[in-house]
Amino acid sequence: MDVFRKIIDIIRKIETVILVFILAVIVVTTFLQVIGRFTPLPLKSVFEEVATFSFVWLCMIGGGACAREGTHMTMDFVVSYMPEKAKKFVKLLGDICGCGVGIGIIYAATLLIPRVKRAGMTSAVMMLPIWIQNLSLAIGAGLILLWSLINIVEDIYVIAKGKPLGLYQKPVKKEE
Residue 125 to residue 118: CA distance in whole angstroms? 20
What residues contact 99, with CB distance under 8 A and at least 6 apart? 145, 148, 149, 152
Residue 172 to residue 22: CA distance in whole angstroms? 24
Percentage of the chain surpassing pLDDT 70?
A: 91
> Per-residue pLDDT tens for 117-128?
999 999 988 999
CA neighbor of 125 nearest in space, from 35, 53, 58, 27: 53
Q: Are 68 and 12 in contact (CB under 8 A)?
A: yes
Which of 76-85, 110-119, 150-159 shows the highest mean pLDDT?
110-119
The answer, yes or no, to whether residue 76 has pLDDT greater than 70, is: yes
- pLDDT-derived band at 157, boundaries 50, 70, 90: confident
Give the pLDDT confidence score for residue 2 in this predicted structure: 80
> Per-residue pLDDT tens for 131-155?
999 999 999 999 999 999 999 998 8
pTM of the model: 0.86
Between the CA of residue 167 and those of 2, 68, 73, 155, 174, what are the distances in Å?
9, 12, 20, 11, 20
- pLDDT-derived band at 171, boundaries 50, 70, 90: very low
Give the pLDDT confidence score for residue 161 in this predicted structure: 86
Decide: helix, strand or coil at residue 17: helix
